[in-house]
Structure formats: C-alpha cells, structure tokens
C-alpha cells in the first residue's frame, strides 16, 4: 500500500513532469534550428524553465519582452569573452595625429554619455582578433516632444554622416553601416540607429572580417530595441528570410533577400511617415508654455563625459589656433580642411553622437 502511495504521489508525477519537460526541450531545439539559433542541452533547458517559475511568460512580446539595453547585445560567439568597458579600452582606440572628428568616432563606443534621461549600456568583448567595444544608447522621450528636440537628434547623427560610410550588415531590417576610414587606422567603426532614439555604436578591430561581424550581430535583439522607442516602427526587427531571422552582409545579398528588404523598407518608411505626422500634429497642439517647458527639459543633451577638444586653424596669435603641424603636407585623414589665404584651415567638426 505504501508503495502504491509513493508511486501515485511521487513517481508518476515526476515521470509526467520529466516527459513534459523533454517534449518542451525537443520543441525548443526544433524552433532554434529553424531560427538559426544555437541548440541547448536538456539540463540548460530545465534550468531556464526553473528560473522562470513564478514569472509571467514574455516570449510573445517584441524581443522576448527584453527591456534592459545590456540584455539586447548580441550573444558572444565561442572563444569570445564579454566584460565591462575599461578606461584602457578608450585609450587603446586613440590614434596619434588623427583629426578630432574621427578620433571621437573611434572612441565614442567606449565613452559614457551624460544627460538627463539618457540610458546607456556598454560592453567589451575580448576576441581572437582583438577587443570589440559596443554601446547601446536610448535618448529620452522628451527629445521627441518638440521640433527642437527632433533637431537635436538630427544633429546627433551629423558626425557619422559627415564621415563617408556605407551599409555593411542588415539584421532583421536594421541596417548597420561602417565608416570609411583611412587604411592605416587600426579599427572599424559601425553605427546603427532606429528613429535616432536608440543607437548602436561599435569600434571593432581592423582585422575582424565581415563574416565574423555578421555571426556576432546576427543575435542582436533588434525587436527589443525597436520596442523601446517612443513610437515603435511596425515590423522592425522581425524581418525573416524564410523561417530564419534575416542576418546578411549587404554586399552578399541575394536578389530574393534584396526584394524582401525593399518590401520591408517600404513598410518602415510608411510607418515612419505616420509617426512623423503624429508628432507634428502633437507639436501643433502644444502651447508656447508647453514648448518652452519641453525644450527646457532637454538640458545639456547627450554630451559625452570625456569631451574631445577641437582647435581650429585661425590667426597666428589667436589662442584657438591649431597646434597640429602638417609641414605643408596633408594628413590624408582630414577632408574638412581647405586653404584660406595661403594657410590650411580646418572647420569645427559636428557633434560626435549620432
């Protein structure tokens, strides 16, 4: 009788739970295979299941319900080690003699932003090719409250836009672009942004291949980034190539993938136009007092904690005169300089943030 009680009360429920977990484990790996994700072991699945006991199921939410920027970073490939960003990482990205605008772009991912309401997550990965540094920044919703705030976001994009760049990767509809820097600069600078509010900045080793970058960013949680926007863009982060989430080198896209992205991009543009129209309608309904209060909330904006000084070429006795000597030769790195009255004069660079 005691054995029957044990059998009914303990053994059978335990066997049923094990069978149910095994079924869920098989279905999870099947889904991972279709999505191009890594397989998990049974003990990993059980631990993950146990850790979610008592918490709501968020798997149906955009990006799996992830809201913390640090959790949106890509998963580290085998052989990579994720760690916190150190001051040495920023110093290692400095290049002697490089013009300040490009210097700022190189170091930007390793420098903490400051400003009211700004969220930021930074991480570094030690890789076989060197150190990769990335940051995700979310600017506050107040930047969208007024035309002035929207203008600030446009200015934040200026520095990368003034430096030549081209598309490198597309991850589920998010275009990641690479700055075109001089060959002697030992780093690759990547940028991506959704509506200017959530921005990804990356400095990677020069010798890191396109394929390696693709395998890393393939797991970037774009849907979660989009969900953190003041006005999310429908479908962003959900573009699939067949059953798998799209992750492709732009230069190597097939005609079918290109058509898929063109169709998705048309939808993004339509949705963005709708969002922009809604903002303009909101602005039109605000009083002058409301506009003034919202603009005051912008404060100092998104100035980096480690400011990059820039000195311009001016008169000989002007204290702002550039101390960078060229010996009459161009540096090969500054494309914003010109001759004025027989002197080389370089204009003030745009802000470094996107």
Q: Give residue 335's pLDDT band: very low, low, confident or very high (50, 70, 90).
A: very low
Q: What is the pTM of this model?
A: 0.68
Q: Is residue 185 within 8 Å of 205, Cβ to Cβ?
A: no
Spatial strand order of the sheet with 130-138 comes to 81-83, 119-127, 130-138, 198-205, 187-194, 174-179, 165-171, 247-249
State how far the Cα of 110 lies from the Cα of 134, in Å rounded to an integer: 7
Using alpha carbons only, give the angle 208, 111, 193 rounded to the nearest 5 degrees: 65
Q: Is a pLDDT exceeding 70 seen at residue 271?
A: yes
Q: Give residue 352's pLDDT band: very low, low, confident or very high (50, 70, 90).
A: very low
Q: Which residue is listed with tokens 């030549």?
A: 164
pLDDT on residue 35: 52
Q: Is a pLDDT exceeding 50 seen at residue 300?
A: no
Q: Is a pLDDT exceeding 50 seen at residue 59?
A: no
pLDDT on residue 212: 97
Q: Is a pLDDT exceeding 90 seen at residue 23?
A: no
To which H or E segment does residue 136 belong? strand 130-138
- Report pLDDT digits (tens) over 208-266: 999 999 999 999 999 999 999 988 999 999 999 988 999 999 999 999 999 999 999 99
E strand intervals along 265-328: none
């Amino acid at each position: 009788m005691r054995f029957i009680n044990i059998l009914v009360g303990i053994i059978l429920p335990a066997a049923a739970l094990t069978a149910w977990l095994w079924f869920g484990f098989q279905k999870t790996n099947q889904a991972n295979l279709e999505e191009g994700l890594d397989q998990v072991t049974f003990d990993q699945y059980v631990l993950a299941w146990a850790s979610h006991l008592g918490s709501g199921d968020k798997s149906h939410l955009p990006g799996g319900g992830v809201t913390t920027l640090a959790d949106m970073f890509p998963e580290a490939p085998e052989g990579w080690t994720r760690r916190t960003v150190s001051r040495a990482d920023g110093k290692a990205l400095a290049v002697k003699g490089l013009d300040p605008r490009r210097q700022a772009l190189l170091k930007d991912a390793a420098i903490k932003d400051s400003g009211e309401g700004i969220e930021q997550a930074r991480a570094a990965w030690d890789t076989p090719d060197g150190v990769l540094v990335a940051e995700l920044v979310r600017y506050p919703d107040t930047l969208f409250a007024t035309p002035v705030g929207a203008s600030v976001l446009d200015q934040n994009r200026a520095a990368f836009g003034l430096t030549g760049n081209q598309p490198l990767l597309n991850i589920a509809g998010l275009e990641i672009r690479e700055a075109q820097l001089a060959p002697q600069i030992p780093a690759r600078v990547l940028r991506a942004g959704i509506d200017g509010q959530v921005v990804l900045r990356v400095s990677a080793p020069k010798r890191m291949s396109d394929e390696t970058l693709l395998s890393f960013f393939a797991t970037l949680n774009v849907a979660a980034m989009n969900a953190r926007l003041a006005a999310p863009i429908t479908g962003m982060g959900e573009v699939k190539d067949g059953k798998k989430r799209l992750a492709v080198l732009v230069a190597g896209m097939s005609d079918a993938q290109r058509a898929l992205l063109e169709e998705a991009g048309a939808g993004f543009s339509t949705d963005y136009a709708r969002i922009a129209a809604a903002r303009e309608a909101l602005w039109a309904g605000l009083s002058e007092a409301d506009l003034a209060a919202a603009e005051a909330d912008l404060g100092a904006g998104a100035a980096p904690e480690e400011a990059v000084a820039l000195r311009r070429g001016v008169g000989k006795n002007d204290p702002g005169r550039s101390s960078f000597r060229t010996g009459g030769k161009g540096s090969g790195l500054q494309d914003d300089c010109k001759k004025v009255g027989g002197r080389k004069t370089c204009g003030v660079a745009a802000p470094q943030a996107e």
